[in-house]
């Protein structure tokens, strides 16, 4: 397969398709501060130095921890950096994930993100649907989107995206406001969104998969590991390379708190998978016909 074009539009900017997800910079369970703050700051600075210009975060990581680290490491931000956050959830005292879906909670969340990131306006705010914490579930997002549209009119948000949503919710949302990106669980093993990805690609809208390695059973991992060994790469590099080749509108946000892993993740863009290897990998899908 030919090497994929490595940039794509996100909102009003073009970004490198390999970005960085800040989730793992918080403590265990995405709760509390990291064990090593200096290392977390280093990973962020290394990402920017390596050409990353799309960072995915949320104020409910930590909570507040990852945004404060991003500000500490990178503020004042490079001109071309696109910071994407998400709202719609909050954490309880034990670190559980709860919906925070009222207009007041969404407004506070956007204001918290702005303050903790040290920004006047956020490039993209994703509304995370919380009808089911574990995956997309139908339900109306109309009230929540209306709240974000108001914040956009106030100049606090440039673009609105969606996370943890169904194809119907994407279509319904697009009737209310332009949608800048969709962020869902998708990887070699979990391919429920195949049709949605293709549809968004036709509209020029990025799809941002999370958990690129999530959902492998040991058997499938063995197959993935075998391919990785043949290519002299890590399983995660192969999974990321497959996503890059899957569709030009896929933007990746692998996260890590390790500078060495960061470089490994970014090197996956140089990995070209043959048609034969792609076919072998696609045999791993949990929902192939």
Catalytic residues: 61
**Is the CB of residue 129 less than 8 Å from the CB of residue 136?**
yes
Residue 258, sorted as left (phi over 0), alpha (psi -120 to 50) or beta, turns out to be beta
Backbone angles phi, psi at 140, to 5 degrees: -80, 135
Residue 187 tokens, joined: 């990887």
Beta strands in 129-255 (DSSP E): 157-163, 179-185, 207-210
**Is the CB of residue 181 less than 8 Å from the CB of residue 10?**
yes
Give the whole-angstrom CA distance, residue 60 versus residue 87.
8
- Cα dist. 175→142, 179, 278 in Å? 10, 9, 36
- Cα dist. 194→134, 175, 285 in Å? 19, 22, 11
Q: What angle do CA 235, 253, 210 make, to 5 degrees?
A: 75
Give the whole-angstrom CA distance, residue 1 versus residue 16.
20
């Amino acid at each position: 397969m030919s090497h994929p074009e490595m940039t794509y539009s996100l909102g009003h900017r073009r970004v490198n398709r390999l970005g960085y997800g800040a989730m793992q910079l918080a403590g265990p369970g995405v709760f509390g501060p990291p064990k090593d703050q200096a290392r977390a700051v280093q990973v962020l600075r290394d990402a920017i130095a390596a050409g990353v210009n799309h960072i995915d975060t949320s104020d409910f990581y930590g909570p507040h921890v990852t945004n404060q680290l991003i500000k500490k490491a990178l503020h004042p931000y490079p001109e071309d950096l696109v910071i994407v956050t998400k709202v719609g959830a909050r954490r309880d005292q034990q670190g559980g994930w709860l919906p925070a879906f009222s207009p007041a909670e969404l407004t506070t969340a956007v204001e918290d993100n702005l303050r903790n990131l040290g920004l006047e306006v956020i490039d993209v705010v994703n509304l995370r649907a919380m009808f089911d914490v574990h995956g997309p579930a139908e339900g109306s997002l109309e009230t929540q989107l209306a709240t974000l549209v108001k914040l956009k009119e106030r100049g606090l948000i440039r673009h609105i995206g969606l996370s943890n949503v169904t194809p119907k919710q994407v279509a319904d949302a697009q009737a209310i406001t332009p949608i800048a990106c969709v962020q869902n669980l998708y990887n070699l093993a979990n391919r429920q969104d195949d049709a949605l990805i293709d549809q968004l690609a036709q509209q020029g809208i990025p799809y941002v998969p999370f958990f690129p390695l999530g959902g492998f059973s040991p058997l499938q991992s063995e197959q993935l590991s075998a391919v990785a060994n043949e290519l002299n790469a890590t399983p995660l590099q192969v999974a990321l390379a497959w996503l890059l080749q899957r569709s030009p509108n896929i933007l990746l946000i692998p996260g890590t708190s390790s500078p060495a892993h960061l470089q490994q993740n970014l090197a996956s863009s140089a990995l070209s998978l043959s048609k034969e290897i792609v076919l072998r990998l696609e045999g791993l899908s949990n929902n192939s016909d």
